[in-house]
Structure 1
C-alpha cells in the first residue's frame, strides 16, 4: 500500500511542478524577460529546463525520503553485487561440499560392505576353531593310546629288572657257596696232601667258574643299569605324557560338560541356568552390624529370585514359593564376613545346571573384598607389530592375544571373572573394527597397549582402551 501512495505522490508532485513551470514559462515569454543577457525565447527554454530538473530532483528527494530500500539500492548497488557474487560462491562451495559428502557416504557404504565381509571371515575362523577342537580330541585319543603302550612297556621292563635281580642274588649265593668250599679245602690241605694236586686242579676249575660267574654278573649288572636308564627315560616320558593328558583331560572334561549340557537339554529340556551363572551381584559397604548385613543379603536374594524366575520360567509358580534355595551355613558365614564395615562384592551363583521350568534352584554366595585393582591409565599389556605387513585377520588375532593376556592379568590381580565365560570384561566389536581400519593407515612397527581408562575394582568389569604408539608418540586411541 505504501508503494502505491509513493507512486501517487510522485505523479501529483511531478504534475504540480510541471504546471507551475509551464505557467512561469508562459509569463516569462509574455513579459519577454531576459536572464543572464539571454534572449526571451532562450530564457523561456532555460526556465523549462530548470523546471524539469526540479521535477527530477524533487522526485528523487521524495523517493529517498520515503523509501530507505530505494536509497540503499541506488547508493549501495556495488556492495550488493559483491554480496551477490559472494553468495553465489558460497552456493558453489555448498554444492561441492554436498557432492563430497555424497562421495563419503558412498565410501562409507563400501566400508560397511567390507566390514560385513570381515564378519563373515570371522565366522569362518570360528568354524576353524571348532575343527581344531575336533583334531584336539583325536590327538587326546592318540596320546591315551601312547600312554597305555608306555605303561605296558614299563611293566615289562620292571618284570625284566625283577628277573635280573633274582638272577644276581642266585649267582651271589653260588659265589658264597664256592668261597665256603674254598675255605673247607684250605682247612683240609694238611690232611689231604695226597689229594692236593687233585684239589688244586679242582680249585683252578672253581676259579675259572668264579671268573665266568663274575663276568656274567658284570654283564647282568650292565644290563640292569641300561634297563634302569631306559626305565628312567620311560618314567620321564610318562610324566610328560601325564601332564599332556592332564591338560587334554581338562579340555575334554570341559567339552564333555558342554556336550552333556547340550545332550541333557535335548533329552529333557532347555538348560536355562548354568553352573556358576551370576543371578545377582552388588557392592556392599558401610555395613557395621548383623541387621544391616541381613537386609543387604535379603535384597540380593530377592534380586536373584527375580532373575531366576525370568531365566527359568518355573511352572505353576505361587507368590509364596521361594524358588531360590541357600543353606543357613552359607548365610551365616556371609553375614559374619560383611559386617565389619569394609566394602565387599557379593555375587549369588547357581550351584548347578537347571532346565527350563524347574522350581527349586540351589545357589551359593561368593564374597570378596572390593578394592582397587588397577589405577586409571595403568598399562596391562603391550604388543608390537607392523600393521601394513599384516592382514585384517592377523591384526585381529594379535589384538585378541592382547585381550587374553589382559584378561589373565586382571584375574590374577583380583578382578572377579564371570564363572561361566571366564572373562572379566568385553570390548565393543564396532570399535575394534574401526581401530583396525584406522591402524592400517600406518607403516612401520607400532606398539599397541591395553590401558584402563578408569579405575578397576574387584567387582569389575574390566574396561580397556587401546593406545597405539609409534616412536613413543601416541598416534591412535580407541573409543
Structure 2
C-alpha cells in the first residue's frame, strides 16, 4: 500500500482538481451572467441558454481534463486513442502466453520424461559400470590364468622338447643297433647272371644254379667279414620255388632275346636269421661296347679355384646320370651303376693337377656293358 501511494502523481491530481474547479466556477459564472442578461443562443430561451452554457462548460472541463492528461501521461493517451489496438495486443499476448504455457507444459513434460530417461540411463550406466568392473576383474583373472597356463605350456614344451631329444637319441641308438645287427639290407644285390638268347630250359636252370652259387659265395664272404663281431652265422638262404618256376617260364617265352636274372635280398635280415631271396629278371640290351668313350667333358685346370678331385667327383656324378638315362639299371640298395678302380681315380686327379691347358675327360668302358651293368670304366685325360 505504501508503495502504491508513493507512486501517485499528486501534482497532476491537484492540478486537475484545481483546473476543474476553476472551469466549473467560470462556467457557472458565465451561465449566471448570461442568464441575468437573458441572452439567447440559437433562439433558445434564456433559461435553456443558461443550461446549455453550463453543459458546454462541463464538456469543456472534460475535454480540458482529457487533453491535459493525454499530454502528461502516455498510458492515458494510449488508453484513449489506442484501446482496441491495445486490447488486440493483449489478446495476442494472451494467446502467445497460453501457447507459451502449453509449450512450457510440454517442455516440462519432456523434461520430466528426459529426467526419467536420464535416471534409467544412469541406473543402466551404473549397472554397466558394475558389469565392466566385474568383467575387468574376470579379465585380470583370465590374464593371470593365461600367464599361469603359458608358464605351464612353456614348461611342458620344454619337457616335451627334452623328451623328444631323448626319444631321438634313443631312436638313433636303436637305429644304430639295428644297423649294426643287420647282416643284409633289403634290395641288396647278391648276384646276377645273363641268360643268352635261345637258351633251353636246362640252360636256364643251369644259369639259375650258377646264380645261387654266386649268391652263396657273396653271402659267405659278407659273413666272414663280421664273424669276429657277431660270432658264427648259420647260413640259410631261402628261394621261392613258385617264383623260380614262373621266372623260368617267362625267360623261355623271351628266349630269343638276351635276359638278365638278379638275386636280391627280400628284406632286412639280422644276423642269425635266414635270408629270403627275391628274383628279378628282364631284357638285357647292349648299352656300351668295350673301349667306347661313352661320356666326355671338357675342363680347364688352369682356371682360378680349380679343384681336381672335386671336379672329378662331379664328373662321375654326371656320368652316373648319363648311364641311368642310357638304360643302365642301378644296384637297388646303393643306386650305384658301376665301378672305378681307386688307383685309376687318383691317377686321373694327379694328371689334372699337372696339366697346364684345357683338357677333355673321357670315361672308357672296360667291357661290353648290358642293361644289368655294372659299368666298369677307366678314365683318360685327353689334351
TM-score (norm 1): 0.38
More contact order relative to length (CA 8 Å, sep ≥ 6) = 2
**Structure with the bigger percentage of helix:** 1
